[in-house]
Amino acid sequence: MSWPLKALSADRFLGGKLVLHQPLKGYRAGVDPVLLAASVPARPGESLLDLGCGAGAAALCAGRRVPGLRLAGLERQDSYAELARRNALANGLEMAVYQGDLSAMPEALRQAQFDHVIANPPYFRRDASTRAPQPEREGAMGEDTPLEIWVDAAARRCKPGGFVTFIHRAERLPELMGAFAARLGSLELKPLLPRPGRESQLCLLRGRKNGRAAFRLHAGLLLHAPPAHVSDRDDYTSEASRILRGGEPLIFG
Residue extents of the structural domains in the chain: 30-240
The structure's pTM equals 0.91
**Residue 94 — very low, low, confident or very high, per pLDDT cuts 50/70/90?**
very high
| The predicted structure's pLDDT at residue 1 | 61
**Residue 161 — very low, low, confident or very high, per pLDDT cuts 50/70/90?**
very high
| The predicted structure's pLDDT at residue 129 | 43
For residues 56 and 60, what is the distance between their CA atoms, to the nearest angstrom? 6
Average pLDDT, the chain: 91
pLDDT at position 34 over 90: yes
| The predicted structure's pLDDT at residue 126 | 44
List b or e across 33-59, with b for residues whose CB sees 16 or more CB atoms inside 10 angstroms. bbbbbbbbebeeebbbbbbbbbbbbbb
Beta-carbon count within 10 A of 182 CB: 11
| The predicted structure's pLDDT at residue 243 | 98
pLDDT at position 227 over 90: no
pLDDT at position 12 over 70: yes
Beta-carbon count within 10 A of 14 CB: 20
Asked if 72 contacts 96 with a C-beta cutoff of 8 angstroms, the reply is yes
pLDDT at position 15 over 60: yes
| The predicted structure's pLDDT at residue 139 | 47
Q: What is the pLDDT of residues 105-154, one digit of tens each?
A: 999 999 999 999 999 999 866 455 444 444 554 444 456 889 999 999 99
SS (H, E, C) the chain: CCCCHHHEEEEEEHHHCEEEEEECCCCCCCCHHHHHHHCCCCCCCCEEEEECCCCCHHHHHHHHHCCCCEEEEEECCHHHHHHHHHHHHHCCCCEEEEECECCECCHHHHCCCEEEEEECCCCEECCCCCCCCCHHHHHHHEECCCHHHHHHHHHHHEEEEEEEEEEEEHHHHHHHHHHHHHHCEEEEEEEEECCCCCCCCEEEEEEECCCCCCCEECCCEECECCCCCCCCCCCECHHHHHHHCCCCCCCCC
Top mean pLDDT of 4-13, 20-29, 61-70 is at 61-70
Q: What is the pLDDT of residues 197-220, one digit of tens each?
A: 999 999 999 999 999 999 999 999
Average pLDDT over residues 229-246: 88
| The predicted structure's pLDDT at residue 189 | 98
30-240 CATH choice from 3.10.290.20, 3.40.50.150, 3.40.630.30, 3.30.43.10: 3.40.50.150
| The predicted structure's pLDDT at residue 3 | 81
